[in-house]
Structure 1
Amino acid sequence: MMMRMSGGGVCCDREYPASKMAASMEFSLEDLPSDPLLLILSFLDFRDLISCSYVSRRLHGLSGHNPLWKGLCQKYWLLSESNKTQKGQSWKDLFQEFYGNMGRYIDHYSTLKKAWDQLKTYLSQKCPRMITSLKEGASEEDLDAVEAQIGCKLPNDYRCSFRIHNGQKLVVPGLMGSMALSNHYRSEDLLDIETAAGGFQQRKGMRQCLPLTFCFHTGLSQYMALDSMEGRSRGEIFYQCPDQMAQDPSAIDMFITGSSFTEWFTSYVHNVVTEEYPIIRDQIFRYIHDKDCVATTGDIKVSVSTSFLPELSSVHPPHFFFTYRIRIEMAKNAHPENICQLDTRYWKITNANGNVEEVRGPGVVGEFPVMSPGKVHEYASCTTFSTTSEHMEGHYTFHRLKNKEEEFNVTIPRFHMVCPPFRVSAVRAQGSTSSLLGPPFDENSSDTDDYEEGQGLNIPPPSGRCPRHI
């Protein structure tokens, strides 16, 4: 039995053929209203949208609908209404123009352009002089010439970023962060592609590695592997770390800082713009602050941030160097009678093996700060250890100025220092242990609060070269 519409009702027709039923329900694409078709097309990517334009005259017309291309322009090229007005083009034409120029980078452009825009907006407010060091983007021809020079292909995300900005001028401070401790200073520039190509490595142990950053004071660079060889993965970014216990100079360990250029750059920008990395004296300092690493005792708050120094560390022998920055502050609404002075410090240091070391000493970095309402005292110190992690905690002992007999302890919160991921050299990984030299290593860490300089960070003049000093 078949059901069909008849007049205003439904009738039964035992002999109504199925073929006639289907024919009566056939309709053309031309019969469909535009709105639902446009809604469907709005879910398509630009490649599929272009394909649809070849299906029929109707879809060809609808696939050029301006709002569809507006969304694609915003998604892939981060374009705004003002960009469209300035260009005086349709959204589709605008998309095609950008695609013609940057189409090979369409999977990377929006992520990297957004990161660059966020970084520049933040720096323009916090340290504008760093903005002036940025170079204009490189051309496709420039990047192709570098590839021809080094005989190696550059990752597309790296090329994309350098189309936006070709690194920075060789200045101090560097865009990629600074660190200062006593007479040790590091500040890393983001190298332009021409300078980077000049430092391209082909020596054994560092083959096919391109420098991304450079520090004038330490000679330190972060490198990107342009091919998978010698134990590295293509696109991986790392600090080189010579194996000090091997006779073979090609035995180079790596402290890994990124799995790809995009991951490396965007994670750094995130730390800067969210103020995980503080701005100190118009420079980006690469201290990481755990927001839970804060302890309040009465009206005094202590917070800690830490940083790993690869240039003073090694994998073999295991020697991991960290600096920590401590901020002590008294509440603004504290009673004036609570003014106090720091006398001593106590540290309990526990390494990854569970070994505990206790350290007691007078003051901090040779100073005995007086804390009054609203006062902030900051200082930097360091510790070294031979296991891949350790944590520190402790307290300061203060006395009230109005009553020296009144002593009390202020808690220093527990903070963890974890060595970044590292990979041993291919020489060692292949079991070439006969080349190892050197005495057994000491597993004790050392707190050097006694030896660092006073409050704040002592940053040497940019023109001076700072020797390593632990």
Structure 2
Amino acid sequence: PLSPPCLSPCLPSLPLSLPLSLSLPLCSYVSRRLNELSKHNPLWKTLCSKHWLVERLRSGVSWFCLFKRYYRDLGRYIQYYPVLKRAWEQLKSFLQQRCPRMIASLKEGATEVELNDIEAQISCRLPDDYRCSYRIHNGQKLVIPGLMGSMSLSNHYRSEVLLDVETAAGGFQQRKGMRRCLPLTFCFHTGLSQYMALEPAEGRRMFESFYPCPDQTAQDPSAIDMFITGSCFLEWFTTYVHNVVTGEYPIIRDQIFRYVHDKGCVATTGDITVSVSTSFLPELSSVHPPHFFFTYRIRIEMSSSASPEAACQLDSRYWKITTSDGNVEEVQGPGVVGEFPVMTPGKVHEYASCTTFSTPSEYMEGHYTFHRLANKEEVFQVAIPRFHMICPPFREPVVRAVKSAIKLQ
């Protein structure tokens, strides 16, 4: 399986009518030639680059031998390794200058023996994409900030650590409602974890990741809803890395904050630009009863080219809130989170606030009212762009879904 199929066109064809006395020597030649071609260095260099991301050759080792060495160790992960290795390298390169504490907290990769021992301990198979990633880095030391993102409000803080495989195995769930679920992350402050389902059970799909959400209306503690965060480990991890390295998630005070910014969610009025990013908080939300908690972060910036006479102060805010069931609510109030920021040329003011809804999606829009510092009688409005807040897909446990279907019959 290690011989590239592209070698075959290099070989001469043998006519079937060739006398046996001539074909045997030629077959011997072809065999030697095939052996030479199968170790052709440029071909194996390409394969080493493609599958193992190796660009430089160690002295005294051929590309053919180097490929075999990697294949013996990581061959079962050949379809996942280049994707996950590249994601890890991109993440570390990005964070090296921005969040060096996170880089220092990463653990060296686990061995095949260690991963096999974990499988024996939990009596369940780990998916190959998960194993492959943990061969590269065995999660993170149990420190703050967490590699998998933070969120901070006035009286609430979350930071998720990427668990090493040994700690994850210690939190492997066998209780009803969470059977065969392995924790991927953990937050010391909230106790929140994202889990991966190692078997299709209780309404979960195999290898998908999710936040568990207990049904607060049910008497049965095993009635657990799920906010789905990924269909498999590869998608879950690489999507997160992409959001980090492309700047989708901002770096604030040496931490990754999981705010999502819609590129079109920007409005400019005169010299002032307002942009909004949002985040869903699963630890403060529930499906039953419907209670979906969001936080949003607003950036207000006055152009540096504005004249000094344009300096102004924010007086009040107005919101128009529309839920997915069509209800509309209007809210007005002084300032923003108790502040009345003064805007001068080049100044940026950012703040975070939060809201809850009984529907899984809604949008907000509105305006701020300002007055000029040079002339308090000059009052004007600055548009706040429409921004949407949509919770992740969620699913009910299979037991309740069956009961609901029976009631409808």
- Matching of residues 142-181 of structure 1 within 5 Å: 142-181=114-153
What is the match of residue 424 of structure 1? 396
What is the match of residue 354 of structure 1? 326
- Matching of residues 52-131 of structure 1 within 5 Å: 56-81=31-56, 84=57, 86-131=58-103
Unmatched 5+ residue regions in structure 2?
Answer: 1-6, 12-28
Alignment match of 2:192 (pick from 220, 239, 243): 220
What is the one-letter code of the residue matched to 1:196? A
1:340 aligns with 2:323: no
What is the one-letter code of the residue matched to 1:37? C
- Matching of residues 19-418 of structure 1 within 5 Å: 37=10, 56-81=31-56, 84=57, 86-418=58-390
**The residue matched to 1:148 in structure 2 has which SS?**
helix
Per the TM alignment, residue 126 of structure 1 is displaced from its structure 2 partner at its CA by 1.1
Per the TM alignment, residue 430 of structure 1 is displaced from its structure 2 partner at its CA by 1.4
What is the one-letter code of the residue matched to 1:250? S
Q: Which segment is superposed worse, 382-391 or 218-227?
A: 382-391
Distance 1:427 1:408 in 2: 56
What is the one-letter code of the residue matched to 2:47? L
What is the one-letter code of the residue matched to 1:416? H
Per the TM alignment, residue 37 of structure 1 is displaced from its structure 2 partner at its CA by 2.2
Change (3 A) 1:412 1:208: same
Distance 1:55 1:194 in 2: 52
Distance 1:434 1:56 in 2: 69
What is the one-letter code of the residue matched to 1:236? E
What is the one-letter code of the residue matched to 1:341? Q
What is the one-letter code of the residue matched to 1:334? A
Per the TM alignment, residue 59 of structure 1 is displaced from its structure 2 partner at its CA by 2.3
Distance 1:419 1:432 in 2: 22
Distance 1:386 1:146 in 2: 41
Per the TM alignment, residue 353 of structure 1 is displaced from its structure 2 partner at its CA by 1.1
What is the one-letter code of the residue matched to 2:10? L
Distance 1:402 1:361 in 2: 24
Distance 1:55 1:36 in 2: 12
Distance 1:434 1:379 in 2: 48
Distance 1:255 1:410 in 2: 36
**The residue matched to 1:269 in structure 2 has which SS?**
helix
Distance 1:212 1:351 in 2: 33
In the alignment, is the contact (CA less than 8 A) between 1:313 and 1:320 conserved in 2?
A: yes
Per the TM alignment, residue 58 of structure 1 is displaced from its structure 2 partner at its CA by 2.4
Q: Percent identity?
A: 76
What is the one-letter code of the residue matched to 1:280? I
Distance 2:138 2:260 in 1: 27
**The residue matched to 1:413 in structure 2 has which SS?**
strand
Per the TM alignment, residue 425 of structure 1 is displaced from its structure 2 partner at its CA by 1.4
Distance 1:264 1:291 in 2: 22
Deviation string for 1:52-72 (max 9, x for gaps)? xx9833222212111111111
**How many residues in Structure 1 have an aligned counterpart in Structure 2?**
384
Greater radius of gyration (CA): 1
In the alignment, is the contact (CA less than 8 A) between 1:345 and 1:397 conserved in 2?
A: yes
Deviation string for 1:310-339 (max 9, x for gaps)? 000001111110000000000011100000
TM-score, with normalisation over the residues of structure 1? 0.80
What is the one-letter code of the residue matched to 1:365? V
In the alignment, is the contact (CA less than 8 A) between 1:250 and 1:427 conserved in 2?
A: no
In the alignment, is the contact (CA less than 8 A) between 1:333 and 1:374 conserved in 2?
A: yes
Structure with the greater relative contact order (CA < 8 A, sep ≥ 6): 1 or 2?
1
Unmatched 5+ residue regions in structure 1?
Answer: 1-33, 39-53, 436-470
Per the TM alignment, residue 107 of structure 1 is displaced from its structure 2 partner at its CA by 1.1
Distance 1:249 1:158 in 2: 29
Deviation string for 1:214-257 (max 9, x for gaps)? 00000000000001111111110000000111111111000000
What is the one-letter code of the residue matched to 1:57? R
Distance 2:352 2:69 in 1: 51
In the alignment, is the contact (CA less than 8 A) between 1:251 and 1:426 conserved in 2?
A: no
Q: CA RMSD in A?
A: 1.7
Distance 1:395 1:87 in 2: 65
Per the TM alignment, residue 290 of structure 1 is displaced from its structure 2 partner at its CA by 0.8
**The residue matched to 1:430 in structure 2 has which SS?**
helix
Per the TM alignment, residue 88 of structure 1 is displaced from its structure 2 partner at its CA by 3.2
Deviation string for 1:142-175 (max 9, x for gaps)? 1111111111110011000000000000001000
Change (3 A) 1:36 1:430: closer
Distance 1:87 1:182 in 2: 57
Deviation string for 1:114-139 (max 9, x for gaps)? 00000000000211111000000001
Distance 2:60 2:126 in 1: 35
Deviation string for 1:88-117 (max 9, x for gaps)? 311110000000111111111000000000
